[in-house]
């Protein structure tokens, strides 16, 4: 059974930082595309960032480029999202996703989702 478990959400002031973590239970996903998506109240779930192992690349939504960084630790089978210079519009539930697909910097989610972690940015 595949499990993705997020942690690291919380409440910060605008301009602050948070680091989200996603622990992946299945080694079968060790080569898959990993990503982060978010959903704000009353809005559709949207793409935030993805990490592709081969060829090695990372992709970001325009709204977070230069502020968020996605990384992966294969040894511990975890994916991270470092979020700096946070803005109130970043407030959302953030979801870890596995087995997605990226082509020409367009990334779609895969079948596996975590339970989500709340990020709240105060103005």
Q: Residue 111 carries which DSSP code?
A: S
DSSP 16-56: --EEEEEEE--GGGTTSEEEEEEE-TTS--EEEEEEETTTT
Give pLDDT tens digits for 94-122. Answer: 999 998 999 888 899 999 999 999 999 99
pLDDT tens for each residue of 72-98: 998 888 999 999 999 999 999 999 999
pLDDT score recorded for residue 42? 95
Going 80 to 87 to 57 to 100, the CA torsion angle's sign is: positive
């Amino acid at each position: 059974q595949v499990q993705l478990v997020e942690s690291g959400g919380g409440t910060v002031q605008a301009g602050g930082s948070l680091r989200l973590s996603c622990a992946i239970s299945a080694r079968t996903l060790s080569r898959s595309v990993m990503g982060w998506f978010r959903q704000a109240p009353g809005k559709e779930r949207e793409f935030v960032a993805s990490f592709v192992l081969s060829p090695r690349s990372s992709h970001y939504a325009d709204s977070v480029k230069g502020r968020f960084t996605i990384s992966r630790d294969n040894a511990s089978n975890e994916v991270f999202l470092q979020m700096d210079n946070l803005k109130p519009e970043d407030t959302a539930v953030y979801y870890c996703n596995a087995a997605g697909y990226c082509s020409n910097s367009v990334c779609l989610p895969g079948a596996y989702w975590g339970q989500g972690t709340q990020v709240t940015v105060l103005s």
